[in-house]
């Protein structure tokens, strides 16, 4: 089955500290600064995913695929690559 979603952004994440990369990437997609991102999204990133749990999983798991929604976006982490799609 062909993936028909629209990819908005792609970035490399640090496996030991992925949260800044996620925040920076979402800010880029939202055309805002990382400090303004909670205002744009209606809340901080930890309202959508547990940052500590994500950091622990990424640091300990080599072959990893995680997908989660943040407002109107679908984020997918595959290894150390982040892709942001329009949430359908």
Q: What is the pLDDT of residues 2-52, one digit of tens each?
A: 678 899 999 999 988 999 999 999 999 999 999 999 988 888 999 999 999
Q: What is the pTM of this model?
A: 0.90
Burial 33-49 (b: 16+ CB within 10 A, else e): ebeebeeebeeebeebb
- Give the pLDDT of residue 1: 65
Could you give the percent of the chain with pLDDT greater than 90?
78
Helix, strand or coil for residue 81? strand
């Amino acid at each position: 089955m062909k993936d028909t979603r629209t990819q908005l952004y792609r970035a490399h994440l640090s496996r030991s500290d992925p949260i800044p990369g996620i925040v920076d990437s979402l800010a880029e997609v939202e055309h805002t600064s990382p400090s303004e991102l909670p205002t744009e999204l209606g809340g901080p990133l930890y309202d959508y995913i547990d940052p500590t749990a994500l950091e622990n999983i990424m640091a300990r798991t080599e072959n990893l695929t995680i997908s989660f929604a943040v407002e109107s976006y679908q984020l997918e982490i595959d290894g150390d690559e982040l892709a942001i799609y329009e949430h359908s």
